[in-house]
Amino acid sequence: MSGTPDSVVVVRYSKATSIGCTAFGGALFVVWIYYLFNDPRTSWYALVLALLFTYMGINSFSRPFCVYDVSTGSIVFPAILGTRRQVIGGANRERLERDGTRLRRVDFNGKVRPVSRWTSDKADFDRLLEAVSRPVSEDRWKQRERRKQ
């Protein structure tokens, strides 16, 4: 991805998602303590889920929901758990289109699929929609002007 600030749009997770996952993980810790004293054989289920949701909640405060690279026209969705990334657009021969307040991806066969946004921050996703609707040539022109300076 390019390193200039105007060529990358970072979309964060919504605060409600981050706080909700962390709180749900904390509640599962309470359930784990209950099962630990009442039925120790099944307590490990609650512990694993509590650790998972707490980790996802804390990690979503710092890890982005997605990153849009204007110069390539691609969106990278880093996984909340692990290192896997999903790339949409750009080199995958897909293009991104704005449909009102929604974002759609159109593959080379013309198949249209929506891009999920339900856990993203609304203001950040609106900036992403604005960046997608701008012509790429305008951004390349701005980059050329910066190089001349």
- The CB-side HSE value for 112 (13 A sphere, CA atoms) comes to 6
Q: From the centroid of its chain, how far is CA 109?
A: 25
pTM beyond 0.85: no
Q: Taking the CB of residue 82, how many other CB atoms lie within 10 A of it?
A: 7
User: Residue 137 above 60 pLDDT?
Assistant: no
Q: What percent of the chain has pLDDT over 70?
A: 86
Distances (CA, A) of 39 to 26, 28, 29, 47: 19, 15, 15, 13
Instruction: Please name the fold of domain 5-12+64-148.
Output: PH-domain like (2.30.29)
* AA letter at 118: W
Q: How high is the pLDDT of residue 55?
A: 94
